Structure 1
Amino acid sequence: MKLLIKWKAFLILFLLLFTTLNSLSQNNSNELVDYVDNFIGVRDTHSSNVIGPQLPNGSINPSPQTPGGDNKYDMDCYNINQPIRGFGQLHVSGSGWGKYGQIFLSPQVGLAVGETEHDSPKENEKATAYEYGVTLSRYKIKTEVTPATHSAIYRFTFPKTDKANILLDISHQLGDIATGMPEKYVHFIDGEVQFSSKGGDELKGYGIYTGGFSDGNYKIYYCARLSKKPATIGTWYNGAISEGSLLQKAQKKMDRIGAYVNYNTNENEEIYLKIAISFKSIEQATSWLDSEIPAWDYNQIKQQARDKWNHELSKLVVEGGTESEKRIFYTAAYHASFQPRNKTNDTNIFGKDVPVWDDHLAVWDTWRTLYPLKVLTNPSMVSGTINSFIARQKINGRVKDAYVALNDKDDDQGGDNITNIIADAYVKGVEGVDWKEAYKLVKYQADNNRKGISYGSKADSSAMYKKLGWIPAGKMSCSVSLEYSYNDFCAALMAKDLGTKSDYKTYLNRSKQWVNLWNPDAESDGFTGFIVPKKWNGSFIPIDIKKEWGSWKNYFYEGNSWTYSYFIPHQFEKLVKMSGGKEKFSQKLQYAITNNLINYGNEPAFLAIQAFHYADRSDLASFYVRKLMKERFSEDGCIENEDSGAMSSWYIFSCMGFFPNAGQSLYYLTGSTFPKIILELENKKKLIITSTNFSTENIYIQSIKINSKPWHKPYFTHDMIKNGGTIEFVMGDKAFKKF
């Protein structure tokens, strides 16, 4: 009997120990979202990523702001080495110019309403895909925030004090805190803050702003609620505090207005604030808040955000690799899921359930990699974007390169590149789009746009490209001419099925006009043949082929002639011939990349490395892809602007071992950098990519099988993987020029 009792006791102890160890094992195992490091792209300030959390393509993006942010590089106005000023609800991530910064909150002990008066050093900072947290050292206030789609909930943990305050500043915006953004371009125009009741636990209002990237004014509505009724409340106007006031309105441009709530708090007392943002109305903001965060369960909202990110990230599952490589990969997948934002049913411009996808900063960046990636992982976003393009054309009469805060930006960065996004989805069979309506938009762009930007006194600017065959020397004339040529090629792909024979012939012929800017005698470092500007009379203008021309300047947009001389996505074979054949072409391209004459910190360079395939040097494509991945991507960031997920999408494709020629059905093969990657398509079919014998030395493809069949070409088509399948790489250290 004693033996039986001892045995039972041992069994119980064993089961308890097993359960405990199993629980610890489960708790220590990483879910995919745990690999996301929100400090990547923040440590490297040039990457311009936002440190605060948001949901996939969600509207709200709460994040801390600090002084000392450079508008060109710190788009969320956050500098890791600076004190925290407060928390804005709207930001854009990874762009070359900023926007938003509203609606601004500052928890304090004491009350300082001036813009520069409440900065606090920080400690215990944490940042994940689904939550941001920090302790404000000046006030000993722990601040945490987690997002829903249009709303967020804050948890403020206060010390014992009778001077606990939460400040709401609706006049604050990005221009107040960023350097490098001229004040004349950034204004608070009008707005109001109002307590909905004398209890002071709900505030509503709006702000009207102008400035930042894109044109026009924009209006933001909000509804905020507090978990505890304040001891006292009030508003402020240009620094003057009015205790007990329930309403404050702006009286003129650039006024400073807001509200505050005051509490007597116990040590470590938690007070919650939840806030929703709308671009439609206060009623809509209130509705978002009611439906998305109905209670005060902070942990529930955080878990929901965590679950949504796990679901999004599970579309790309990598096996093998180091922990660091997984962090870089999954943070890239995270950064590629921010923008554009889904603002369907959150505008006064479009009707109920009309798709509205906003915050394109800009499609010039995203058409090349982000949208082709989403064709694979989230085609509903792609179809939603295209349907949004169609709706914008019908309502606004135009669809521009940048569309931010529901406003088109007048100046394009390049061509009519929405055409490329539409064509890419069309040739890959994305569902959910009325393609006849989509083609109407593509045809409108081809027939009525292609006008360039501003080229002197000639009235009929469309004659420049459409009749001459090039845009005469001027602002971005070369780069825009090249992009128009590719836009026309993409339009021709659709016209072949959806348009007339005349349309098809016209667009296809125009797509070949890029050769008018090719000067076979232009020389740089002993190499000849480059894209150069040409006058109205047909004579070339001698230029420095290496010069980076900047933004909205003469000849080339954010690049040099070396870079743009390889931007011929639809006629690489012709480019090789015009460059003197395969050997000379590959020598010239290798020289350019080796000597940093092609700027891979910007999108026009993305396809240059893949051009090696057309010179029978696929080994060089594999070599340089890996070289760029190693040199340009780390746990700090990606060196240059993330560009709304464009850079991260480049990295993800490079990890998978194939790369899109966006607008066409082609992918170029360079070999995967993980032993196994499982890509889950929206139809739940899976594309399984394996890489046998891969190592840091074995970077060259030895053989390939696609869907279990040997493959000997350096490219394949989308049809081969649209329903899932397999790509099997065998890697080695032998550099085969051809597969």
Structure 2
Amino acid sequence: MAKAVADTQSPAENAAGYVSDDSPIMGFSHMHDSGTGGQPSLGNFPLFFHPGCPEDDFVKCDYSVMHRGANRVPGSAFASPGYFSINLTNSVRAEMTVTEHTALYRFGFPGNDSVNIVVDDDVVTQVPYAPLVVIDLIDLMNSRNGGGIQVYPESGRVVGDGRYSPSFGAGHYQAFFCADFRGADIRNTGTFTANKATAEPKFLGGDIKSGYQNPHGSAGAWIQFEKPATNTITARVGVSFISVDRACENAEAEIPDFDFGRVEDDARRAWSGKLSAVEVDSTGVSEELQTVFWSGLYRTLLSPQNYTGENQLWNSSEPYFDSFYCIWDSFRAQHPLLTIIDPPAQAEMVRALIDIYKHEGKLPDCRMSFCKGYTQGGSNADIVIADAYIKKLDGGIDWETAYEAVVSDAEVEPKHWGIEGRGNLVSWHDKGFIPWDDVDTNGTGPTSRTISRGVEYAYDDFCISLFAEGLGRTHEADKYYQRGGNWRNYWNPDQRDVYRDPMGEISQSDFQGFMQPRLANGSFRYQNTRTCSPIHQTHGCYYDTGFDTYEGSPWLYSFFVPQDMAGLVGLMGGADRFVERLTFFHTSGISYMGNEQGFLPVFQFHYAARPALSSFWAHEYIPALFNASVNGIPGNDDCAMGAFSAFAMMGFFPVAGQDVYLLTPPFFPEVKIRAKGPGKWAVIRVRNFDPEQRAIYIQSAALNGKTYGRNWITHDFFLKGGVLEFVVGEKESKWGRAGDDLPPSYPTWGNEGGNGVGGGDGG
């Protein structure tokens, strides 16, 4: 729960608090959501230290978030798992580490009688050395409504709370903190509102009768200290979503000794334990590629956040996880990766999803800060749950209630389907598609995204069919299997790819047949095939805008048929023509790797018997877009971008919701992943590894010493362990190209369109 870092006042998105730019540091706060887009979340109760105040007068220090910021010393930021530090131009050095619910900070000062601080335009001024800490009730989004704060002059303890809004959802949540300080005697205390500080009162709240109202925006408490004996002040901040008392209990239980070194060591060991599920032989691999891999794996483990014991909405013996940002993003790569490297955590997340269903009536598609988030596409928690069932995830999951939850998504339209479940279900059941002009009298939500919601609904239903089949519900499995074929209702075989060329002339490629919106009378409606791609109206397709695709183009969504890729290959003209089209997608500027729907198309060449091309494009995007530079993540990484790079570099990629991993050579001579059995490993090895990354095409493979021709593998490899060996070369081979070597494809619509390529074992 505790994730301490510096918060920046960045013109770009600062959703995780810190941005690597030149913007000022506004404070150091204790809870963050990593890498989300849109409005920032959390960042509640930031601390900020002044080394002293002008003329030694606390009134002349800056207090509000708009005034108090200090620039960072260029190049001083340093991060490692469980630790962050940065130097400010006001002479303060800030270090921080965490336990589960508590942040521990160490603020260092130069120790002279007067301190040089750099202000605007590089002007250096001096202030007397007497550190002053500001504790603000604000959050990153400036959404606070109500709450209060109190400072105790004798002990220096500061406690407070506030009511806040979620960043991408509806509702409110409450948060609480408890801060203590060590290292210096207290000189004076007080409170502030906006940029005005006073020594009295010591309490701010919302009680009008008391005369102490707490306005919106910056408001809080301050403490000025005498000179610290060791020029260091340590701050401990416990956080809670239950109460101030719980926040104090968390702090006292987790960090009773204020020992920064011990807490940092414990945090590092905890991270090492999590990351030890994977080992790599990095011989010959550049430091940059190693950084890309390990930082991606690290970021995969940042969210969802474990708030078990801190659920402010209901009492339950089940785990509670929050910060599902959003399952639309995470189902494709992050949750499948957690199923492999941290199955206990993934099982708890599935249990948490089921418990949310039990108490709120629907599975979430997005959830943050105890609030219902906006549903971006389908009800993709269905895929997470089906994926967990298919891959035999255990850990106390109630599969019968899980099935009840996914069927509720498929059959019961909620009143507000913009924040849970699915909309337009009458038409979906009766027509097999969502009409652009649908009249939905059962619920409300944005009527946009009929294509992207439709192809996702189809895949959600297909995954439910696999779940139902596993539970022995044959009739229901057949129903949802047939609905899985509804993607074809969006396929307009006559739609051409028309666009304006760089000279402004109307032109078209020679590709025909795309997903398109439809009207209630069955006719097609036109959306430009490139709309909302990086080369045409990039930012036009969001949650409540008028287009029929979400954060992507019809070009992109025309590839989203994981359940029936053989059928799609056939509709696109067969294997060779499919390869031409997918290659054009990656070379023409239409593809965008900053959104998660772009992940699977990197590897879909497998379905057209060209796994070498999947390897080629994985090695193109890494390191071109995924690298160790400041801009080395192509989009917001709410844990999915890291999962993509980790998967690609380990040599396999999941088809989420199915027991299928598409194989490519790893970026290392050997990758070892801890299997379920004690002391067992799933090992992927390149026998003739090329450090120059030129030999990236599999020539032959062996599984446990036996020739292996499939270009995919099942989850049993990660459950039981074993050794998968590749021989690689610089040119494409015949490996993985025979019809029986291709991944499974399920003909959800009879035999129309033909396979175009061979079948593959459906498992």
Q: TM-score range by the shorter chain?
A: 0.7 to 0.9
Q: Deviations over 1:182-237 (max 9, x none)?
A: xxxxx210111113x44132111211112522221111111111114412111123
Q: Number of aligned pairs?
A: 663
User: Which residue of the partner structure matches residue 700 of structure 1?
Assistant: 697
Q: Are 1:341 and 2:316 an aligned pair?
A: no
Q: 2:5: which partner in 1?
A: 63
Match of 1:608, SS? Answer: helix
Q: Deviations over 1:34-61 (max 9, x none)?
A: xxxxxxxxxxxxxxxxxxxxxxxxx111
- Asked if 2 retains the 8 angstrom alpha-carbon contact of 1:450 and 1:465, the reply is no
Q: Deviations over 1:409-456 (max 9, x none)?
A: 2x31000000000011110000111211211111111111499968xx
Flag the 1:120–1:720 CA change in 2: closer, same or farther, 3 A. Answer: closer
Instruction: Give the residue type in structure 2 aligned to 1:173.
Output: D
1:318–1:674 CA contact under 8 A, matched in 2: yes
- Of 73-82 and 314-323, more deviation after overlay is shown by 73-82
Task: Give the residue type in structure 2 aligned to 1:305.
Answer: A
Corresponding residue of 2:483: 510
- State yes or no: 1:87 paired with 2:28: yes
Q: Which amino acid aligns with 1:93?
A: S
- Name 1:201's counterpart in structure 2: 156
Shift in alpha-carbon separation, 1:450–1:668, aligned structure 2, 3 A? farther
Q: 1:327 aligns with which of 277, 281, 291?
A: 291
- The Cα offsets for residues 136-186 of structure 1, whole Å up to 9 and x where unpaired, read as 222x2221111111111111123345653443443322135xxxxxxxxxx
Instruction: Tell me if the contact between 1:150 and 1:276 (Cα under 8 Å) persists in the aligned partners.
Output: yes
**What per-residue deviation string (whole Å, max 9, x for no partner) do you get for residues 51-100 of structure 1?**
xxxxxxxx1111112223323x6542534312322112122211112211
Question: Which residue number in structure 2 is paired with residue 482 of structure 1?
Answer: 455
Q: Secondary structure at the match of 2:245?
A: helix
**Amino acid in structure 2 at the alignment position of 1:531:** M
Does 2:92 match 1:141?
A: yes
Aligned ranges 1:353-372 → 2 under 5 Å? 353-372=317-336
Q: Single out whichever of 630-639 and 154-163 deviates more from structure 2.
A: 154-163
Aligned equivalents of 1:530 and 1:171: distance in 2? 51
The correspondence for 2:41, drawn from 95, 99, 109, is: 99
> What secondary structure is seen at the aligned counterpart in 2 of 1:651?
helix
Q: Which digits, 9 at most, give the CA deviation of each residue in 1:602-626, with x for residues without a partner?
A: 1112211322112111121111111
1:470 to 417, 433, 436: 433
Task: Encode CA deviations 1:584-636: one digit per residue, 9 max, x unaligned.
Answer: 11111112212122322211122113221121111211111111112111112
Residues 452/142 of structure 1: CA separation in 2 closer, same or farther (3 Å cut): closer
Aligned to 2:504: none
Does the 8 Å CA contact 1:190/1:252 hold for their aligned counterparts? yes
Partner of residue 284, structure 1: 246
Distance in 2 separating the partners of 1:451 and 1:269: 58
Report Cα offsets for 1:529-554 as digits up to 9, x if no partner.
11111111111112311111421232
1:312 aligns with 2:274: yes
Contact persistence 2:148–2:214 (CA under 8 A)? no
* Offset, 1:268: 5.0
Residue 146 of structure 1 aligns to which amino acid in structure 2? T
Higher helix share: 1
The within-5 A match list for 1:641-720 is 641-681=635-675, 683-684=677-678, 685-695=680-690, 696-720=693-717
Of 195, 198, 205, which aligns to 1:239? Answer: 195
Gaps of 5+ in 2: 54-60, 114-127, 207-212, 437-446, 498-508, 533-539, 737-763
Please, which of 242, 245, 249 is the counterpart of residue 205 of structure 2? 249
Name the residue aligned to 2:123.
Answer: none
Q: Is the 8 A contact 1:563 1:599 kept in 2?
A: no
d(CA) in 2 for partners of 1:647, 1:365: 9
Please say if residues 106 and 168 of structure 1, whose CA atoms lie closer than 8 Å, have aligned partners that are also in contact: yes
SS of aligned partner of 1:507: helix
SS in 2 for 1:509: helix
Structure 2 equivalent of residue 528 of structure 1: 512
Answer yes or no: is the 8 Å Cα contact 1:75–1:96 preserved in 2: no
Look up the SS of the partner of 1:544 in the other structure: coil
Q: Deviations over 1:234-270 (max 9, x none)?
A: 1123333221533121435515321111112157511
Distance 2:361 2:554 in 1: 34
* CA distance 1:477–1:499, change in 2 (3 Å): farther
**Cα pair distance change 1:188/1:648, threshold 3 Å:** same
Partner residue in 1 for 2:58? none
Q: Distance in 2 between matches of 1:452 and 1:701?
A: 49
- Per mean C-alpha deviation after superposition, the further-off stretch among 479-488 and 571-580 is 571-580
Relative to structure 1, is the Cα distance of residues 74 and 638 closer, same or farther in structure 2, using a 3 angstrom cutoff? farther
CA distance in 2, matches of 1:268, 1:513: 69
One-letter code of the match for 2:198?
S
Q: In the TM superposition, what whole-angstrom CA distance separates every residue of 1:315-342 from its partner, at most 9, and x where no partner exists?
A: 1111121222111111111111100000
Counterparts of residues 720-735 of structure 1 (less than 5 Å): 720-735=717-732
1:157 to 108, 119, 142: 108
Consecutive unaligned residues in structure 1, runs of 5 or more: 1-58, 177-186
Partner AA of 2:24 in structure 1 = P
1:261 lines up with 2:223 in the alignment: yes
Q: Which residue of 2 aligns with 1:52?
A: none
* 1:365-406 deviation line (CA, Å, top 9, x unaligned): 000100110111101111111111111111111222111001
Question: 1:156/1:639 Cα in 2 relative to 1: closer, same or farther (>3 Å)?
Answer: closer
Instruction: Map 1:36-75; keep pairs closer than 5 Å.
Output: 59-71=1-13, 75=16
TM (norm. structure 2) is 0.84
Given residue 723 of structure 1, which amino acid in structure 2 is its aligned partner? K
Once the two structures are superposed, the pairs formed by residues 269-668 of structure 1 within 5 Å of their partners are: 269-319=231-281, 320=283, 321-409=285-373, 411-432=374-395, 433-449=397-413, 461-473=424-436, 475-498=448-471, 500-524=473-497, 525-548=509-532, 549-552=540-543, 553=545, 554-636=547-629, 637-668=631-662
Whether the 8 Å contact between 1:355 and 1:388 is mirrored in structure 2 is yes
Does residue 1:167 correspond to 2:128, yes or no?
A: no
1:538 and 1:452 map into 2 onto residues whose CA distance is 26
Cross-structure match for 1:112: 62
* Contact 2:340/2:718, CA 8 A, preserved across alignment: no
CA distance in 1: counterparts of 2:695 and 2:149, whole angstroms? 62
One of 193, 208, 212 as aligned partner of 2:167: 212
CA positional deviation for 1:706: 1.8
SS in 2 for 1:429: coil
CA contact (8 A) 1:165 1:260 kept: no
3-state SS of the aligned residue for 2:724? strand
Cα deviation 1:629-674 (Å, max 9, x = unaligned)? 1211111244432431111111111111111000110011111110
- Cα distance in 2, alignment partners of residues 452 and 296 from structure 1: 47
Amino acid at match of 1:653: F
**Which region of structure 1 is more displaced relative to structure 2, 210-219 or 411-420?**
210-219
